């Protein structure tokens, strides 16, 4: 099974990058930014992102558009300080480009200013690792 990991963040806190690093470590595979297009067709794409102004960044959407013919199934992984998931926004983009997106997603809180201090935390990372390994081992 061909698997890739892509992420996007513009945050200085690094919460999304920390999630990407966790997935990378669990799968022993490098996580690249969405600036790096897929070089071949993949069965599973772990797409790690965050909520910005109640949406995902346009670079996530552009990545999906550019790589639509190379993606089997997207698994959305995200965090936000507000608690809102990016799933609906990512699904909308996937639907637009006829990309399959799993209804299984990983979402956790993220710290921002004084909200959700120390999140994501070790429990979040443990849950993320279990989520990713469960998908890989059951596909």
Encode pLDDT of 44-100 as tens digits. 999 999 877 777 889 999 999 999 999 999 999 998 777 789 999 999 999 999 999
All domains in the chain, ordered by first residue: 3-137 (3.40.50.360)
**% the chain with pLDDT above 70:** 98
Instruction: Burial-class residue 40 by CB neighbours within 10 Å (0-12, 13-18, 19+).
Output: exposed
Residue 120: pLDDT over 80:
yes
Q: pLDDT category, 12, cuts 50, 70, 90?
A: low
pLDDT for 125 beyond 90: yes
| 62 CB-contact burial (10 Å; exposed 0-12 / middle 13-18 / buried 19+) | middle
Q: What are phi and psi of 48, to 5 degrees?
A: -105, 125
More confident residue, 54 or 6: 6
Tell me what pLDDT residue 24 has: 98
- The mean predicted confidence, pLDDT, of the chain is 92
pLDDT at position 92 is 95
CA distance linking residue 79 with residue 98, whole number of Å: 24
Position of tokens 């061909």?
2
Instruction: Spell out where the chain has E strands.
Output: 3-7, 31-33, 42-50, 71-80, 100-101, 106-109
Comparing CA positions, the residue from 130, 109, 131, 129 lying closest to residue 120 is 109
- What span, in angstroms and rounded, lies between the C-alpha atoms of 66 and 68? 6
């Amino acid at each position: 099974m061909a698997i890739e990991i892509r992420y996007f963040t513009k945050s200085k806190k690094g919460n999304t990058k920390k999630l990407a690093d966790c997935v990378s470590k669990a799968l022993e595979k490098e996580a690249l930014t969405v600036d790096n297009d897929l070089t071949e067709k993949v069965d599973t794409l772990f797409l790690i992102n965050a909520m910005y102004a109640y949406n995902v960044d346009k670079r996530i959407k552009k990545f999906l558009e550019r790589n639509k013919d190379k993606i089997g199934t997207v698994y959305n992984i995200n965090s936000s300080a507000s608690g809102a998931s990016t799933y609906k926004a990512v699904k909308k983009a996937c639907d637009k480009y006829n990309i399959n997106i799993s209804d299984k997603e990983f979402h956790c809180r993220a710290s921002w200013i004084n909200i959700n201090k120390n999140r994501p935390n070790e429990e979040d990372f443990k849950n993320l690792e279990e989520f990713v390994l469960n998908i890989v081992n059951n596909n």
